[in-house]
Amino acid sequence: MSMPETAERWTASMVRALPDDSNRYEVVDGELFVTPAPSWPHQRVVGGLFRHLANYLHGQSWGEVLISPADISFHEDMLVQPDLFVVPIGSDGRRPGQWADVGALLLAIEVLSPSTARADRQVKRRLYQREAVGEYWVVDPDARVVERWRPQDDRPEIVTDALTWHPEPSAAPFELDLPAVFDEVLRNR
């Protein structure tokens, strides 16, 4: 991740004004993070996870999974684009209609790349914990593990086999066979 030296403290509005050059721009606590386009294996993992989460959430009235690019901004000096995220749906059934309507996340997921590991594991993790995101998953395709973080955690839970997520008591939990998913999406790697 490279960070241009053009501003002392970046804001979400400054990031939105940057040109569309196929880089991903994010700002956390005024620090700008610039990431190049993701790799093919990275996108295969994102797509596989999205497919499983979308199937789980199909017909549910409490959450929706989305893929970045996105402009998730809870504060002026923060704008992030998690690879995948689940937004809550209002009790009236209304889904957010624009990025400014997203005030919370039930789940944020980042798939590690060499250029994003520090920000994903440290900067974004602290941000998502501070913002009380229900769970934050750091997916490591090379190690084939998921680091699961919750707001109160000092250390991640390292998941290597079955990943279970139960954000809504009235619904069955989401269950994911991690080895099978990694085998499926990374089989030609």
Starting at the earlier edge strand, list the strands of the sheet with 84-88. 63-67, 84-88, 107-111, 135-140, 145-149, 157-159
Q: What is the pTM of this model?
A: 0.87
Region 170-183 average pLDDT: 94
CA gap 136, 92 in Å, rounded: 26
User: In this predicted model, what pLDDT tens digit does every residue of 33-52 receive, in sequence order?
Assistant: 888 888 888 999 999 999 99
Which has the minimum average pLDDT: 54-58, 96-100, 125-129, 150-154? 96-100
Domain ranges of the chain: 39-185
The answer as to CATH 3.30.70.360 being correct for domain 39-185 is no
In tens, the pLDDT along 82-92 reads 999 999 997 77
pLDDT value of position 6: 56
